[in-house]
Amino acid sequence: MRRELGFGLGSLRRRPLVALLAWSVPEALPAALYGVAIARAVDSGFLAGRPVVGLAWLGGLLLAAGVSAIGSRQVYRRLGDLVEPFRDELVRRVVGGALRHAVAGRPDGGAVARLTRQVELVRDTYAGLIVVLRGFVVTVAGVVAGLLSIAPVMAALMLPPFVLGLVAFVLTLGMAAARQRAAVLADERLAGAAGAVLTGTRDVVARGAEEHAAALVAGPVAEQANAERALARVAALRALCFAVGGWLPLVVLLAAGPWLVRHGLTAGALMGGLTYVLFGLQPALRTLISGLGGSGLRFVVTLGRILDASTPPPVPARRATAPTRYELTLRGVTFAYGPHAEPVLHDLYLDVPAGDHLAIVGPSGIGKSTLAGLLCGLLRPDAGSVRLGGVPVADLSPDRLATLRVLIPQEAYVFAGTVWDNLTYLHPTATAAQVDAALTAIGAGPLVTALGGCHADLPPADLSAGERQLIALVRAYLSPAPLVILDEATCHLDPTAERRAEEAFAARPGTVIVIAHRVSSALRARHVLVLDGTHAMAGDHPTLLAASPLYRDLLGHWTVPTHPTAPRTGLVVP
Ligand SMILES: Nc1ncnc2c1ncn2[C@@H]1O[C@H](COP(=O)(O)OP(=O)(O)O)[C@@H](O)[C@H]1O
Ligand SMILES: [Mg+2]
């Protein structure tokens, strides 16, 4: 705040400012003369039986209005001298800031366009503020001088309530600025949250995460509603300030009227006083309140955001040793969907070495997909930690996470575009040779040929669920991420196609975690994690077969493939 104000005042150049104030004096002539002219017109003119003198005083007002118009014209001419250098300085900062962001490796393509629009807004509000503040000061000075010249006692009666309302209004300004800023931020957060959920609608529906998505937006919605209500309360407070500063002087003057008249105040002087309230103090205060409360706040808030955005970004702290081996470690992980819900996972410990091939098995609804969400950093544990390469996944930025892991859900999705776009979505610089190798490894070559080749358009609605899974599997295979999680991602493939895909991922560098849909997936894996609600057990197939009744049970219920693949462990399925 201090920085913004310092910047604003620092840019007020002295000479144009003096010229502006000098031309404000004739502009304010009518405000100063109104009351005096009315008082004289009444006392020495109409009441004294000399209507010509009365009319002459009113004619004097017309003359003053003419002089005032000349003053106004000059004031607006001088305004540019004050405002344009301010705008130039702001633009210099904005462009400089955008360049520094780019040099720091974080170019922000929209920055210049967005910020120059904000600069125009700030310039206009700045000009408006100068006009309002200057007009207020000059008018009030004129009114005070006029009042003192008619009857100092009226000034003593009217000015205290006026000053009271003014001070009260000034005191609300700090609060209003904070609330305006909160409202702007709440608005931005809501737009961000809603945008993320809307653009991810397919993911949300595919993962059955509607409630989670609603929860993501509900917070920002409530926050914005609160911010707007808080702003409205400040507006109500402002109306109260105007009532005190604008109307109370009038009430005081009317109430004291009989007493003033008894003590020698003339009718003309009293009317002059009323004129000063109605045509001087009230309009001046109203303009000040709406000017400072509206565009003034926008000025402070927008200027603050421009200055924030144009300060150089902090150099990101580089980790001394960027991990090259991405082992997954879970320590005491507990997670529930909501503060009062039973935890889906409770105090889970798990180590998945880099390059491992792990199968997760367990009955439906036990928490396998929830665990996948935690491993991917999509969900945050309520207690404990999930680390990938030693770093808590919940602390990684979305961009970083996207380079580290891929999750393929049961309902894989493809988007309208070419087959190539769909395949290389997670690895846009993939070469044709890499894509061919991935198609061969996953066994999706015939599908792509049937679709008309890599550069054909892909019709999402015409693909079967299994075909969509094949495309998504190739996409995940091509991605440079060292961790791939397949959450029943092969459930629509036949056992042979599933085996080919899983073997491709097992041979791919990096870790693959398969949430198993068929027994064969568990048999192919190097390690198996059995989730059974109250506790989890991990080990290789023979160990679990011996130690876990649930695992034995699950194997018994699973359909054994008609052409069973030779399990790595060499064990025969019971
Ligand atoms: N977004 C959610 N909100 C509330 N409860 C959920 C949500 N997703 C899953 N659950 C509940 O958590 C439990 C585990 O679900 P899930 O991880 O999908 O199981 P699995 O993948 O093993 O079938 C289930 O009881 C399910 O109803
Ligand atoms: Mg699931």
**Digitized pLDDT (tens) for each residue of the chain, 574 residues in all:** 333 333 444 445 677 788 888 888 888 888 888 899 999 999 999 999 999 999 999 999 899 999 999 988 888 888 888 888 888 888 887 777 777 777 766 666 556 665 666 778 788 888 888 888 888 998 999 999 999 999 999 999 999 999 999 999 999 888 888 888 788 778 777 877 887 788 778 777 877 788 888 888 888 899 889 988 998 898 899 999 999 999 999 999 999 999 999 999 999 999 999 999 998 999 999 999 888 877 777 777 777 777 776 665 554 444 434 456 789 999 999 999 988 888 999 999 999 999 999 999 998 999 999 999 999 999 999 999 999 988 899 888 888 888 999 999 988 889 989 999 999 999 999 999 999 999 999 999 999 999 999 999 998 889 999 999 999 999 999 999 999 999 999 999 998 999 999 999 999 999 999 998 887 888 899 999 999 876 788 988 888 888 888 888 888 765 444 443 433 332 223 2
Q: How far is the CA of 510 from the centre of ligand 1 (A)?
A: 27
| Residue 361 beta carbon below 6 angstroms from any ligand 1 atom | no
What residues flank ion ligand 2 with Cβ within 5 A? 368-369
**What is the residue with the minimal CA distance to atom 24 of ligand 1?**
365
User: Which ligand 1 atom is nearest residue 363's CA?
Assistant: 22
Enter the tokens of residue 527: 């390690």
Ligand 1, pocket-test mutation among 337, 361, 554, most atoms within 8 A of CB: 337
User: Which ligand 1 atom is nearest residue 338's CA?
Assistant: 4
**What is the residue with the minimal CA distance to atom 3 of ligand 1?**
337
CA separation, residue 31 to residues 60, 62, 283, 294, 306 (Å)? 13, 12, 10, 24, 38
**What is the residue with the minimal CA distance to atom 16 of ligand 1?**
367
Write out the H or E segment, with its range, that includes residue 417: strand 417-418
| Residue 337 beta carbon below 6 angstroms from any ligand 1 atom | yes
| Residue 151 beta carbon below 6 angstroms from any ligand 1 atom | no
Cα–Cα distance for residue pair 65/61, rounded to 1 Å: 6
The distance in angstroms from the start CA to the end CA of the chain is 73
Ligand 1, pocket-test mutation among 204, 211, 344, most atoms within 8 A of CB: 344
Q: How far is the CA of 209 from the centre of ligand 1 (A)?
A: 9
| Residue 554 beta carbon below 6 angstroms from any ligand 1 atom | no
Q: What is the pLDDT of residue 115?
A: 65
**What is the residue with the minimal CA distance to atom 17 of ligand 1?**
367
| Residue 366 beta carbon below 6 angstroms from any ligand 1 atom | yes
> Which ligand is nearest the CA of 532, by number?
1
- Reduced to 3 states (helix: H, G, I; strand: E, B; else coil), residue 387 is strand
Q: How far is the CA of 369 from the centre of ligand 1 (A)?
A: 7
Cα–Cα distance for residue pair 173/291, rounded to 1 Å: 12
Show Cβ contacts of residue 430 under 8 Å, excluding neighbours closer than 6 positions.
423, 424, 438, 478
Cα–Cα distance for residue pair 517/521, rounded to 1 Å: 7
Cα–Cα distance for residue pair 393/401, rounded to 1 Å: 7
CA separation, residue 397 to residues 174, 369, 378 (Å)? 34, 21, 11
CA dihedral 447, 453, 458, 463 (to 10 degrees): -10
Enter the tokens of residue 286: 């109203």
- How much is the pTM? 0.49
Number of other CB atoms surrounding residue 379 within 10 Å: 22
Q: What is the pLDDT of residue 386?
A: 95
CA separation, residue 416 to residues 144, 342, 402 (Å)? 72, 40, 21
- Which segments of 104-209 does DSSP mark as H helices, in order? 111-150, 152-199, 201-206
